[in-house]
Structure 1
Amino acid sequence: MSKDLLFEIGLEEVPARFVRGAIEQLQDRMEKWLSSIRVNHGAVEAYATPRRLAVIIKDVAEKQEDIEEEVKGPSRKIAVDENGNWSKAALGFARSQGVSPEQFTFKELGGVEYIYATKSSKGTETSEVIAEGLLQILHAMTFPKFMRWASYDFKFVRPIRWMVALFGSDVVSIEVAGVTSGNITRGHRFLGKEIEIKEPSAYVEALRSEHVIVDIEERRAMIVKQIEELAKEKNWTIGVKEDLLEEILFLVETPTVLYGTFESSFLHIPQDVLITSMREHQRYFPVFDDKGTLLPYFVTVRNGGKESLDVIAKGNEKVLRARLSDAKFFYEEDQKLQIKDAVSKLESIVFQEEMGTVGDKVRRIRKIADALAAKLDIPADQVESVSRAADICKFDLVTQMVYEFPELQGVMGEDYALKAGERAEVARAIFEHYQPRSASDQVPASMIGSIVSIADKIDTIVGCFSIGIIPTGSQDPYALRRQAAGIVQIAYEHELPITLDAIFEIGIGVHESMRVMKRPADEIRKDLQEFFGLRVKKLLSETMRYDVVDAVISAQYNDIVSVTRRGAALMNAVVSEEDFKTTVDSFNRVGNLAAKASNASVSEEVFVEDGERKLYDAWKATSPAYQEAIARHDAEKALSLASSWKEPITEFFDSVMVMAEDEAVRANRLGLLASIDQDLKSFADFSKLVW
């Protein structure tokens, strides 16, 4: 027999960003708890709104499973003394397992007889253990932030106001922080009322009757459908961002989409400012025409029905008008600020106590960017733009608009720079140097923006590493992992002819010349290589098998263009070439014996067998072209040339005794294999491939 189990925690409104994690945690904990107490069950359904977390578990068995397990004890030799009596070890084992020695059985394992105890345990009624389990789950829940209320020591994400705990139609009685569970839940705060839940299967529909759509996906589908219908009716494109939709999903219990308008005079403010103000401050979706131009409308979601939507719209319009008026004021005031005056104000903003002000950082960015531009040998006119962009890349940090909307840094810098008469490529680089802002963001499109972006990021990374701020575990306050990944992504997508080591040297050199570092440069360099190696590995892992990634990284990952092309070529060969395994086997045979060589010197005069001459000739004829292909990052050609050595390698091993008795012959043959292995290892460590 089985019954459904319902557990609902009624709360004060939970911050939207906490709800998803909270309900997933509750679902997971309840499922694991039932498994741990040997109670079979069916599907586990999770429900959540801003005011409740609820889980319904279908077909929960009314009784725990009986268990019978066999436990191995000491060997017969230890368990039985010379008189045939049970030893102290056997008697102690019996006590520890709760059985009598008469229940022991003997079984042979690996040629040795051991005693075994069979333990049986009858399952208890599920109803007898549910209350204790629910209390354990409540006390074990974790959240980004906790609250205590009244005089209770208990803490939770928000104060608990009611609880529903039902096993079938029976109430499971528990008490937490003055709240006792029952079968009464609450509907919509304003539209609904308290309602009795007679059994778990009635929960969803009972709440629906009180204006609460408790099913997360149903509520989301309602919002999306209403937005799509409004967009079709008005011939609009409504800008729905998934993160904002997720937030709104957990702000409402009964969603109703509506729209409002704002004065078209605000449209002369940059589009990004208006969109940010609507999304970040008001949780509104912006509206565009079919060409992507912002329209003077917004879409929002009401927590309630369709009554008096015009009144609700007017209230939202009034609030938005005030927000946009502030934005308009900030925008107009900021344009009165000269760029040079803004840059001078950066001297009073502390970037990091031991790394100085933002002004100090800008000077380092300029030096690093200039050095990178020289290393990349870009045209002279671009060099000038790199320098200017580096000098003013942070000036918008002191503007009122960025102070109000920090996420607009770079966006406002580009707009204000253009209005101040800066070159378009310089202004664009101010925006681009923050890219990529996240794993899903684009890299800078221009070379100027790319150089300044790398300079900014490596300055922060080297500076932090130099004072011992290195990410560990989940701690990464300066987002160094994201910035390192950004450098790798830029180098990869633009195929920059510069190595990671060269970037490190430039960054370390500038910091050494401009500030005192707490750690030796060699230590910093070593940590940087390891830190960036993980970022390169992650980049390659997005499109390649783990063993292919390990193989090419083992050769070297310092040159991003090289390692990505070698990885792609090797991945293609592993996947599509049927006989590539035999090629790799031949490479690995070379590597295994090459490890025995004292050096990689080869003398043709010492050759004895045709097999070694043929291998030497085949390798010698193609090695220069192979090395040139590696240098030019032509990985496909390099791998093709290396693969041409398979046949002579196979013939060599079939016809030549490598470990010859003559020491000179043996050393020469090992030297030949070591020379070939050196070439192969510059492409990949083929022994890491898994078949």
Structure 2
Amino acid sequence: MHTESLLIEIGTEELPPKALQSLSIAFADGIEAGLEKAELSFSKLDTFAAPRRLGVLVSDLSAQQADKVVEKRGPAISAAFDGTGEPTKAALGWARGQGIELDDAQRLKTDKGEWLLHKAEVKGQALDALLPEIVSAALNGLPIPKPMRWGSSQTQFIRPVHTVTLLYGAKVIDAQILGINSGRNINGHRFHSSGAIELAHANDYQEALHKAYVIADFDQRKARIRQQLEDAAKHQQAVVDMDDDLLNEVTALVEWPEVLVASFDQRFLDVPKEALIYTMKDDQKYFPLLSQDGQLLPRFAFVANIDSKDPQQVIKGNERVIRPRLADAEFFFNTDRKQSLESRLDSLGSVLFQKQLGTLADKSKRIAELAAFVASQLEVNQAYAHRAGLLSKTDLMTQMVMEFPDVQGVMGMHYARFDGEPEVVAKALFEQYLPRFSGDILPSEPESAAVAIADKVDTLVGIFGIGQSPKGDKDPFALRRAAIGLIRIMVEGQYQLDLLPLLEKATTLFGDKLTAKETEKQVLDFVLGRFRAWYQEQGVDANTVQAVLERRPTSPVDFDARIQAVKAFRSLEAAESLAAANKRVANILAKSEVNIDELNVDHALLSEAAETQLAEQVSQAAVDVNTAVAELDYKTALYRLSELRDTVDAFFDSVMVMHDDPAIRTNRLAILGQLRQLFLKVADISVLN
């Protein structure tokens, strides 16, 4: 069958840069799904995404669907003919529906009976007829929250559309997409290219655009920018501050990237570097340059969208643009320093944290008390933790943070240092927000950890306490992130804290503001549920997590120790057998009517060698297991229990648990109960089976 390359390009006005990649992926996925549904074969599909275009190039695409035979089964023979052999209305109606005479129908015989059958030959449709609907469906499936109209047309899309290119090999496939007739023309760079570019063949796409100063492939543009940035930094004997989000956004803003380096006045370096970096990166999409030891240099790199004949003019223009922004930051910084953080405490009373939960002043007081409580549990400086908690939100009232919200905490740290606060307190004002995202750093000091934990627990208890827990994908107070942050701080920092006392203390601090029932239980369940997602991201099997969740340990460090123990246990040869045995024991005990917790093994009732051996070994293992559990050494506990495998197997092979004699039966249940309780001191490994 004839195959060719197919080019699909939607030429638009500048697309939203932060949405470009998701639009490109969704468009390509939609085209691929449409081609596969239409049963049109192809070898590969390449995507293109630039500020003014979304494109797909499909290689070796069939020009037409393959012809196929479709079997249409009719009524069963017993229903198709009456007792005299005459066709029924059901059979005649089915034949008319297939466009055949009943005599032309075939028969299908299976083990389950016999049916009428018609094998219809279906002619494959041409790509020309199928493609318009495939492209339209892919475009309708794009994630566009706010489509727009342009001109007098009622057509809607994320941005106005100028061209639609549907080119199969050298042939244009006629269609009207988004109100535009398809053709073979594309547009080049807005400034370096004049007029439409006429493509002779779909395979000419990238080369033609490159000549017109457009690098259509997103990854190629990104790699070019990265390399140019690194080369520019190396030339400046500097390191470029280059995060992937900014790199992606800039890649989505330019068609022909050219990296240039500009500078700013040295005096601006008196302002904390975080504020300057925020201004450069978030406001201007510039890349700050740092010294080898991480200090901000008075220079930055930026990505131009033109190959200028006079780059100095472009550089000067960007220097003029950044100067007033840095001057604003300098002004805010100098103005803020005239007032201490402590003096801003009263102003927090004018800002609501949440209508039912009070103001930021109320929240700060709760954080201070709770942070001191956490510090007491950790046996670190309670006064520092309390002070940091009290000042934790004061920098929100500074002009710098009001203008640049992302520097909250950072500016609090700097202002606290200027105010003469202890370094531990200053650092805690920044580290209270850690971790801010997956993989982010954690508080470096226990006092900082105390404030971060207090802030997150206060928010969780407060929001759950007024009945506003996350629903579906809606989580306006970022409670899921707060819960994961709690887990990470405690587990990775090895802070031995029990969640229950923390939740109880936090609830008390809210007074009568909370209206929901069982707030502490709801929050605990929510945090424990986050363990599942956190461990699964690390590749921990869901059953391993569930085995520990069954025991509901309320200390995250304790929870993690159990997880690591169960992971190690599952690698043992005895694990599968003991998991099965635990499940069997759990089922037996569940069906019995005795309270196993109140039973002791009567060694005088032991009559068979296997039960005697198991009773003795369980008793001996209990000493070692209890010692290991007391030290949170759960791995040793499970290793010790794994030594019982042969004895447990022998018991089930030769001993009748449900003996006719009630005393013997109860005694044997007591042995199994003690065995089960030893495993449950770590996890419920029966769920591993």
TM superposition score category, shorter chain reference:
over 0.9
Residue 15 of structure 2: SS of its match in structure 1? coil
Classify 1:105/1:499 alpha carbon distance in 2 versus 1 (closer, same or farther; 3 Å): farther
Segment of structure 1 superposing worse, 211-220 or 124-133 = 124-133
Structure 2 Cα separation of the partners of residues 357 and 370 of structure 1: 20
Within 5 Å, give how 1:166-565 maps onto structure 2.
Answer: 166-176=167-177, 178-193=179-194, 194-374=196-376, 376-379=377-380, 382-511=381-510, 513=511, 515-520=512-517, 522=518, 524-541=519-536, 542-565=538-561
Asked if residue 61 in structure 1 is aligned to residue 62 in structure 2, the reply is yes
The answer to whether the Cα contact below 8 Å between 2:373 and 2:382 also exists between their aligned partners in 1 is: no
Within 5 Å, give how 1:558-573 maps onto structure 2.
Answer: 558-573=554-569
Structure 1 Cα separation of the partners of residues 100 and 526 of structure 2: 56
The equivalent residue for 2:629 is 630
The answer to whether the Cα contact below 8 Å between 1:599 and 1:671 also exists between their aligned partners in 2 is: no
Structure 2 Cα separation of the partners of residues 29 and 307 of structure 1: 41
Amino acid at match of 1:536: F
Classify 1:158/1:635 alpha carbon distance in 2 versus 1 (closer, same or farther; 3 Å): same
Amino acid at match of 1:292: G
Structure 2 Cα separation of the partners of residues 337 and 152 of structure 1: 56
The answer to whether the Cα contact below 8 Å between 1:614 and 1:648 also exists between their aligned partners in 2 is: yes
Structure 1 Cα separation of the partners of residues 282 and 230 of structure 2: 22
The answer to whether the Cα contact below 8 Å between 2:9 and 2:55 also exists between their aligned partners in 1 is: yes
The equivalent residue for 1:594 is 589
The answer to whether the Cα contact below 8 Å between 2:167 and 2:201 also exists between their aligned partners in 1 is: yes
Classify 1:153/1:518 alpha carbon distance in 2 versus 1 (closer, same or farther; 3 Å): farther
Segment of structure 1 superposing worse, 400-409 or 157-166 = 157-166
Structure 1 Cα separation of the partners of residues 513 and 98 of structure 2: 65
Residue 47 of structure 1: SS of its match in structure 2? strand
Q: Give how far 1:191 is off.
A: 0.9
Q: Deviations over 1:237-264 (max 9, x none)?
A: 1111111110110110001111011111
Structure 2 Cα separation of the partners of residues 286 and 443 of structure 1: 24
Residue 129 of structure 1: SS of its match in structure 2? helix
Amino acid at match of 1:535: R
Amino acid at match of 2:383: E
Structure 2 Cα separation of the partners of residues 501 and 88 of structure 1: 73
Classify 1:343/1:100 alpha carbon distance in 2 versus 1 (closer, same or farther; 3 Å): farther
Residue 391 of structure 1: SS of its match in structure 2? helix
The answer to whether the Cα contact below 8 Å between 1:127 and 1:167 also exists between their aligned partners in 2 is: no
Residue 571 of structure 1: SS of its match in structure 2? helix
Question: Aligned pair count?
Answer: 682
Q: Deviations over 1:147-177 (max 9, x none)?
A: 2222333221111122212122222233355
TM-score (norm 1): 0.94
The answer to whether the Cα contact below 8 Å between 2:30 and 2:137 also exists between their aligned partners in 1 is: no
Q: Give how far 1:3 is off.
A: 1.9
Residue 337 of structure 1: SS of its match in structure 2? coil
The answer to whether the Cα contact below 8 Å between 1:183 and 1:198 also exists between their aligned partners in 2 is: yes
Within 5 Å, give how 1:640-655 maps onto structure 2.
Answer: 640-655=639-654
Q: Give how far 1:37 is off.
A: 1.5
Q: Give how far 1:4 is off.
A: 1.6
The answer to whether the Cα contact below 8 Å between 1:491 and 1:560 also exists between their aligned partners in 2 is: yes
Q: Give how far 1:647 is off.
A: 2.6
Structure 1 Cα separation of the partners of residues 442 and 106 of structure 2: 70
Q: Give how far 1:609 is off.
A: 2.0
The equivalent residue for 1:574 is 570
Classify 1:562/1:116 alpha carbon distance in 2 versus 1 (closer, same or farther; 3 Å): farther
Structure 1 Cα separation of the partners of residues 471 and 95 of structure 2: 48
Amino acid at match of 1:266: F
The equivalent residue for 2:679 is 680
Structure 2 Cα separation of the partners of residues 57 and 617 of structure 1: 71
Q: Give how far 1:189 is off.
A: 0.6
Structure 2 Cα separation of the partners of residues 263 and 174 of structure 1: 56
Residue 85 of structure 1: SS of its match in structure 2? coil
Q: Give how far 1:611 is off.
A: 2.0
Q: Give how far 1:111 is off.
A: 4.0
Structure 2 Cα separation of the partners of residues 664 and 79 of structure 1: 69
The answer to whether the Cα contact below 8 Å between 1:566 and 1:683 also exists between their aligned partners in 2 is: yes
The answer to whether the Cα contact below 8 Å between 2:155 and 2:179 also exists between their aligned partners in 1 is: no
TM-score (norm 2): 0.94
Structure 2 Cα separation of the partners of residues 177 and 648 of structure 1: 74
Amino acid at match of 1:684: A
Structure 1 Cα separation of the partners of residues 121 and 469 of structure 2: 53
Q: Give how far 1:362 is off.
A: 1.3
Residue 258 of structure 2: SS of its match in structure 1? strand
Amino acid at match of 2:497: I
Residue 455 of structure 1: SS of its match in structure 2? helix
The answer to whether the Cα contact below 8 Å between 2:275 and 2:329 also exists between their aligned partners in 1 is: yes
Q: Could you say what the CA RMSD is over the residues aligned between the two structures, in angstroms? A: 2.1
Percent sequence identity over matched residues? 34
Q: Deviations over 1:633-689 (max 9, x none)?
A: 111111112112223212322332112111221122122212211221232222322
The equivalent residue for 1:51 is 52
Structure 1 Cα separation of the partners of residues 576 and 456 of structure 2: 41
Q: Give how far 1:24 is off.
A: 0.6
Amino acid at match of 1:52: R
Structure 1 Cα separation of the partners of residues 583 and 362 of structure 2: 52
Classify 1:109/1:212 alpha carbon distance in 2 versus 1 (closer, same or farther; 3 Å): same
The equivalent residue for 2:664 is 665
Classify 1:316/1:71 alpha carbon distance in 2 versus 1 (closer, same or farther; 3 Å): same
The answer to whether the Cα contact below 8 Å between 1:430 and 1:449 also exists between their aligned partners in 2 is: yes
Structure 2 Cα separation of the partners of residues 238 and 322 of structure 1: 23
The answer to whether the Cα contact below 8 Å between 1:544 and 1:568 also exists between their aligned partners in 2 is: no
5+ residue gaps, structure 2, are: none
Structure 2 Cα separation of the partners of residues 107 and 224 of structure 1: 64
Residue 345 of structure 2: SS of its match in structure 1? helix
Residue 252 of structure 1: SS of its match in structure 2? coil
Amino acid at match of 1:241: D
Amino acid at match of 2:663: A
Q: Give how far 1:97 is off.
A: 5.6
Structure 2 Cα separation of the partners of residues 686 and 418 of structure 1: 52
Structure 2 Cα separation of the partners of residues 20 and 337 of structure 1: 45
The answer to whether the Cα contact below 8 Å between 1:602 and 1:669 also exists between their aligned partners in 2 is: no
Structure 2 Cα separation of the partners of residues 633 and 136 of structure 1: 57
Structure 2 Cα separation of the partners of residues 31 and 438 of structure 1: 33
Q: Deviations over 1:582-614 (max 9, x none)?
A: 343443443343333322113313322232222
Classify 1:181/1:510 alpha carbon distance in 2 versus 1 (closer, same or farther; 3 Å): same
Structure 1 Cα separation of the partners of residues 346 and 640 of structure 2: 58
The answer to whether the Cα contact below 8 Å between 1:99 and 1:119 also exists between their aligned partners in 2 is: no
The answer to whether the Cα contact below 8 Å between 2:7 and 2:168 also exists between their aligned partners in 1 is: yes
Classify 1:489/1:125 alpha carbon distance in 2 versus 1 (closer, same or farther; 3 Å): same
Segment of structure 1 superposing worse, 130-139 or 19-28 = 130-139
Q: Deviations over 1:382-407 (max 9, x none)?
A: 11111111111000000011011111
Structure 1 Cα separation of the partners of residues 678 and 107 of structure 2: 61
The answer to whether the Cα contact below 8 Å between 1:169 and 1:198 also exists between their aligned partners in 2 is: yes
Q: Give how far 1:235 is off.
A: 2.0
Residue 138 of structure 2: SS of its match in structure 1? helix
Structure 2 Cα separation of the partners of residues 589 and 401 of structure 1: 64
The answer to whether the Cα contact below 8 Å between 1:587 and 1:646 also exists between their aligned partners in 2 is: no
Residue 591 of structure 2: SS of its match in structure 1? coil
Segment of structure 1 superposing worse, 365-374 or 657-666 = 365-374
The answer to whether the Cα contact below 8 Å between 2:238 and 2:289 also exists between their aligned partners in 1 is: yes
Amino acid at match of 1:610: A
